[in-house]
Structure 1
Amino acid sequence: MNKNKLLKFLGYKLVRFVILILVVAIFSFILLDLSPIDPVNAYLRQAAVSEAQRQILENYFGTNVPLTTKIYHWLLDLIQLNLGTSLIYRAPVIDIIWEKASASIVLMAISWVLSGVLGFVLGVVAGKNKGSWIDKAVKIYCYAIQSAPSFWVGMLVLMVFAVYLGWFPIGFGVPIGVRSTDATFLEWASRLVLPTLTLSLVGLAPIAMYTRNELIQVLSSDYVLFAKSRGEKGWDLIKNHGIRNILLPAVTLQFLSFSELFGGAVLVEQVFSYPGIGQTAVAAGLSSDVPLFLGIVIFSAIFVFVGNLLADLSYYLIDPRIKESEFND
């Protein structure tokens, strides 16, 4: 793929990104504006104030202007990367998101890699041994874990490894009473294990089942039967003809799982009291922190878009034989 094709593709994606952010921003703002949530009441927290003081707060939050004016100012601030001030933290929303998202990205990145690698390996092993006890065990696990909510899996992991066995801390990002900047690497890493384990256990099921089914189809194809007639068998056959044909769709599926990964992280962080963007989103919703909640919605849209973009680019990083015309599509 030449440079012009790449620039055209990236320009097309940039236009789609701008449209996506505008649509998400407008509809999210409208839904929150139509909801019973009132930023003024959330800020006052049922404190008694005079009508003049309430009027000042309504002017500050812009709640006493038409909806079209609110949307216009919201989009204007969004272009300037001004997402407002959080009612909970009393700090700029973009600073809060940057701080909390960094912790969540570490959690999600490790979980994403582990779930992808382990899921692909389990899928290959199950597909190669179709009908064996290994295949049946992998299918039972995948069906069971896919039907279980991530927060329920997190509670089981928490009870077994933190409460009963006592191998890991119960939760939080750092020990109680210790500042995040003063925590050691081991103190931080030990509290990252259980949330990462939970997200990995949940995330590997789809990729394992997909890889298994794809490998079974590949092994029953004509060119694999021809390879078997030439004497190829075992893992050499899987390596030469199986993995090459199932790796690309498996990687694509893994990149497309960014939305499920983000949703799972929201619940898992709440279970383990992990100080990430997920727990912050729950706190913003419960406390009616509209600026922070809207900022997290924008961040989640960007996160999912990046995952889809990486999925498209992975085609050409893994298999350059794909036609450039498909890239333009």
Structure 2
Amino acid sequence: MRSYAAWLGQKGLRLITLLFALSVISFILVSYSPIDPIQAYIGADMMKVSPEQRAQITAYWGLDRPPVERFFRWGSALLHGDMGTSMIFRRPVSEVIGERFMNSIVLMGASWLLSGLIGFVAGVIAAMNKGTWVDRFIQWYCYTLASTPTFWMGLLLLIVFGVWLGWLPVGLGVPAGVPADQVTRADRVQHMLLPLLTLSLVGISGIALHTRQKLVDVLASDYVLFARARGERGWRLLRRHGLRNIALPAISLQFTAFSELFGGAVLAEQVFSYPGLGQATVSAGLRGDIPLLLGLVLFSVVFVFTGNLIADLLYRLMDPRLREGRSL
């Protein structure tokens, strides 16, 4: 228990250091961005705003202060639980993130599970049929998807299923023009299917190729050869000697894919105009919404760090050498 406490303490210190470093870098990049946040805030009415009104708006959002002072004011408020107010949505950043996160977590969670299950099954099938056309086809499919950009896959699915076939909506999270109290769960699921398929298809390759190679190594081991000599074949051999050796490594690898999942969600949500964290991140960056962008950066870091922490924890539980602090 003491070793776990020390390990978690080191992880917590790394998280704090990472949050601070990314906050500083993100603040500097946004502050010196060529995008004028005041112009983006006013929008099409820019020509109707007088210089005095522009100066008042600048002072209201604190953009007339030096960048260093603004950063420390933001950091001080953050330590007190205040993430600021979004310039785009004109609401507290915490509320915007909380609302958008509920949309994104359903999308990312469903795609994470679907890609993990399909990838794991595909990897097992490829390994059990090593050297056959089935194995070659699965490997070709995985390598092709691994080099396919998420936004391109999203556009392809949108054109095929949304435009040509007309089976699914082309975008948004709910039907346009329908009051919020009349939107059904089926409507939300229907609008989520295309971004879900996009993230799931792109996320299959990593887990499938890892599972295939891991199972190939297991099936070539001495204890599996001995089991085959005793007459074990097929599903019984896989269940008794294969799955238990590849399941937990596959799960751990899937947790480490949180960063790719979040990055893919940003692109997929932008393609389909899905109202999640990804679309909010793009909007905040393009319109110079510093409070919202910084809040999203911190949230994404915690999200990805949590996935990596779970993966590390699973590895420590599986490998006693890591629990004892020895090197591999």
TM-score, length-normalised on structure 1?
0.91
Aligned partner of 1:219 in structure 2 is 219
The letter for the 1-side match of 2:305 is F
Alignment of 1:271-282 (within 5 A): 271-282=271-282
> Displacement, 1:43?
2.8
> Displacement, 1:287?
2.1
Question: Hey, what's the Cα distance between the residues in 2 that align with 1:160 and 1:42?
Answer: 34
Question: Hey, what's the Cα distance between the residues in 2 that align with 1:284 and 1:47?
Answer: 23
> Displacement, 1:309?
1.3
Aligned partner of 1:248 in structure 2 is 248
Distance 1:323 1:93, change over 3 A: closer
Question: Hey, what's the Cα distance between the residues in 1 that align with 2:55 and 2:10?
Answer: 45
Aligned partner of 2:22 in structure 1 is 24
- Is 2:101 aligned against 1:101? yes
- Is 2:177 aligned against 1:177? yes
Contact 1:315 1:322 (8 Å CA) reproduced: no
Question: Hey, what's the Cα distance between the residues in 2 that align with 1:253 and 1:173?
Answer: 30
Question: Hey, what's the Cα distance between the residues in 1 that align with 2:128 and 2:324?
Answer: 34
What is the RMSD of the two structures over their aligned residues, measured on CA atoms? 2.3
Aligned partner of 2:33 in structure 1 is 35
Alignment of 1:189-200 (within 5 A): 189-200=189-200
Aligned partner of 2:323 in structure 1 is 324
Distance 1:139 1:64, change over 3 A: same
Aligned partner of 1:237 in structure 2 is 237
Contact 1:154 1:195 (8 Å CA) reproduced: yes
Q: Which moved more, 1:250-259 or 1:104-113?
A: 250-259
The letter for the 2-side match of 1:269 is E
Q: What are structure 1's unaligned runs of at least 5 residues? A: none
Question: Hey, what's the Cα distance between the residues in 2 that align with 1:39 and 1:77?
Answer: 21
* SS of equivalent to 1:178: coil
- Is 2:117 aligned against 1:121? no
The letter for the 1-side match of 2:323 is E
What are the superposed Cα offsets for residues 234-270 of structure 1, whole Å, 9 maximum, x if unpaired? 2222222222222222111111110110111111111
Aligned partner of 2:208 in structure 1 is 208
Distance 1:69 1:321, change over 3 A: same
Q: Which moved more, 1:52-61 or 1:210-219?
A: 52-61
* SS of equivalent to 1:295: helix
The letter for the 1-side match of 2:153 is V
The letter for the 1-side match of 2:243 is I
What are the superposed Cα offsets for residues 38-72 of structure 1, whole Å, 9 maximum, x if unpaired? 33333344345555444433433333333332221
Contact 2:142 2:205 (8 Å CA) reproduced: yes
What are the superposed Cα offsets for residues 79-125 of structure 1, whole Å, 9 maximum, x if unpaired? 12322222221111111111111100100000000101110010011
Identity value in percent: 50
The letter for the 2-side match of 1:24 is L
Question: Hey, what's the Cα distance between the residues in 1 that align with 2:122 and 2:242?
Answer: 14
Q: What are structure 2's unaligned runs of at least 5 residues? A: none
> Displacement, 1:326?
4.2
What are the superposed Cα offsets for residues 110-166 of structure 1, whole Å, 9 maximum, x if unpaired? 000010111001001101100112111111111111111111111221222222222
> Displacement, 1:18?
1.5
Distance 1:5 1:181, change over 3 A: farther
Distance 1:257 1:174, change over 3 A: same
> Displacement, 1:14?
2.0
Matched length = 326
What are the superposed Cα offsets for residues 171-222 of structure 1, whole Å, 9 maximum, x if unpaired? 2111111233431111111111121111111101111011111111221222
TM-score, length-normalised on structure 2?
0.91
Alignment of 1:249-264 (within 5 A): 249-264=249-264
Question: Hey, what's the Cα distance between the residues in 2 that align with 1:131 and 1:171?
Answer: 41
Contact 2:119 2:208 (8 Å CA) reproduced: yes
